[in-house]
Structure 1
């Protein structure tokens, strides 16, 4: 019988409002939505972002410590029976404040994004790094990296880089890097092991000044992408041209209700597996915003669901699509919602899991 586990990364070093305990592993009940603590991995600093290779039973965690010039990513084996993690190795991400990890479509390459809060010009200072994954799941040293600011930038600019995510296109041709500081989505040709990161034919997509593109995801059809803009609280719909790597903005909608005047920053974005619904998180309004996706890829607002906590940094839809779990970083822990597969609507179950600083959650189902 298969088992589903939820892996949660928590801040455990100089974290407010409360410290977590590294990586928490929960067994997930797909009928009730309940989480039962199965194990914890404590020997890691601030695993703020997790990425899972479900097929190969491996987990990767970003070590995010802003005080260090150089952060790290760690590789683990997953015990499919218990969910327990077994450490493999760790490598540098060649930059500061590593906040996102992503795979290429083959699962043989890991891309690390660095938000960079170190001093300007601090070395190594890369916004993105590419690491090859060994046959045993361990990581090789980064073989390619790129800086987005200053004289050493791949496209020089005096603006402050803040790489926030790297997403590989579904055709495995292009690496898109959302740089929140430059208001750009950079585009690189997907490198092979040993190659440098080279700009694509269309090297970047420019978002409006102050938008702050944070996270990006593709529609299952591979032709449409969605980006959530952290600073101006919007979601943009983009059409993807695989030949040029061009992303053309087709639509932009707010993530906030009209009349909201409080401070807000956006965080996570996700498309349902059936491609019918899009969700984003608001930190300040403390909500999940829901949209319906048309066959054209354009979106229409459905509404807002309170996150039942403060600062919903991340959320994840379970493998069945019947639940959404929301990680409230600043208070409230994990809130569990029922999800109507037909309408996309979310309903609070009232169930909570107390965690100090949940940052990122991923599911894995194993036989």
Structure 2
């Protein structure tokens, strides 16, 4: 039975899963109940047996939670989450250095290895546990104009497309998104899309409607913008169409966009920006985006966003909390609801 089905028949509360940096005092991986009415979180249990589980992803049935260990060398771990406390299912499997993102795809879990500029595939057993070791690694090549952040490749996210045929790898260091496929357990590049030099793409999100999720929104860390792209799943091609700012003015100080989410109805895109510590609301207007407003993120250094059932969640790393916001359905504007303390919070994933 899926996590959604268990929630529907009352077997257990809806869940959120929170990752954190143990090296900065974080608790590791937390499981939290989600209140049906308010979206409020209540911590149920946790596990700190994997260092720096900075990003998490759920299996399709919701029973297994995958975590990167953002270390050098890096690793991926699998937890059973059918109870209130995550239970490690076996030893972590080695991947590239400093993995920052992961996803299950085609019988494997894929990691984006920021430090080594690579994508690693680890095979899964039918029950969702890791069958390791890694079956293949794709090493990116290239660089960008930024003297500090783009001397070499820095894979930052890996995400399947809605068709399930492809996965997209976002590389901050090379200003590009690679459309890839798994061939006998090995990640292989099908097409590489170049973005504006110096933009520093970090994460992307698919529009939930339209043929094949026909628009993709790429959030750029080194320029506070979103690049709108057209996605052709049949051909496996990503075409940049233009950029939209996520801030009303070009900031004089540091501003580093981090997380991106799209509303379930496809009308709004939300982004988080560290430094300015704001959430941005962008309206979807055909093939473009329009900045509507920004609101405080509820803490400091918002690293990642989660979204489900009209509630937006923000993992604020430096202030050590996860804050939730009720979203106005007409304007897309987040209204702060509350928060829980999570030192060095890095991500929040919903099973909804």
TM over 0.5: yes
Aligned length: 331
| Partner in structure 2 of residue 208 of structure 1 | 196
The answer for the alignment partner of 1:180 in structure 2 is 172
For residue 293 of structure 1, the aligned residue among 284, 293, 305 is 284
Distance 2:326 2:62 in 1: 29
Instruction: Show the 5 A alignment for 1:318-333.
Output: 318=308, 320-321=309-310, 323-333=311-321
1:52 is the counterpart of 2:58: yes
1:316 has 2:306 as partner: yes
Shift of 1:230: 0.5
Measured in 1, the distance between the counterparts of 2:67 and 2:276 equals: 28
TM-superposed deviation, 1:38: 0.7
Post-superposition offset of 1:10: 1.0
In the other structure, the counterpart of 1:273 is 264
1:23-60 Cα shifts (integer Å, max 9, x gaps) = 11111112123221211112121100000125241100
Q: Which residue of 2 aligns with 1:3?
A: 13
Given candidates 137, 142, 157, the residue that maps to 1:145 is 137
Runs of 4 or more off by more than 6 Å in structure 1? none
Change in 2 beyond 3 A, CA 1:90/1:215 = farther
Secondary structure at 1:130 match in 2: strand
Distance 1:352 1:176 in 2: 32
Tell me if the contact between 1:308 and 1:332 (Cα under 8 Å) persists in the aligned partners: no
**What residue is the counterpart of 2:146 in the other structure?**
none
Indicate the residue corresponding to 1:74 in structure 2: 77
CA distance in 2, matches of 1:56, 1:27: 14
Superimposed CA distance per residue, residues 64-90 of structure 1 (whole angstroms, 9 cap, x where no aligned partner): 12xx2x2111001112xx432121124
Distance 1:356 1:234, change over 3 A: same
Mapping of residues 166-245 of structure 1, within 5 Å: 166-188=158-180, 190-192=181-183, 194-200=184-190, 203-221=191-209, 222-245=213-236
Counterparts of 1:220 and 1:338 in 2: how far apart (Å)?
A: 20
Taking structure 1 as the reference length, the TM-score comes to: 0.85
Please, what is the CA RMSD of the aligned residues?
1.8
Aligned to 1:345: 333
Q: Runs of 5+ in structure 2 lacking a partner?
A: 1-9, 143-149
Change (3 A) 1:143 1:333: same
Match of 2:346 in 1: 359
**What is the CA distance between 1:167 and its match in structure 2?**
1.5
**Equivalent residue, structure 1, for 2:145:** none
Residues 279, 288 of structure 1: 8 Å contact kept? yes
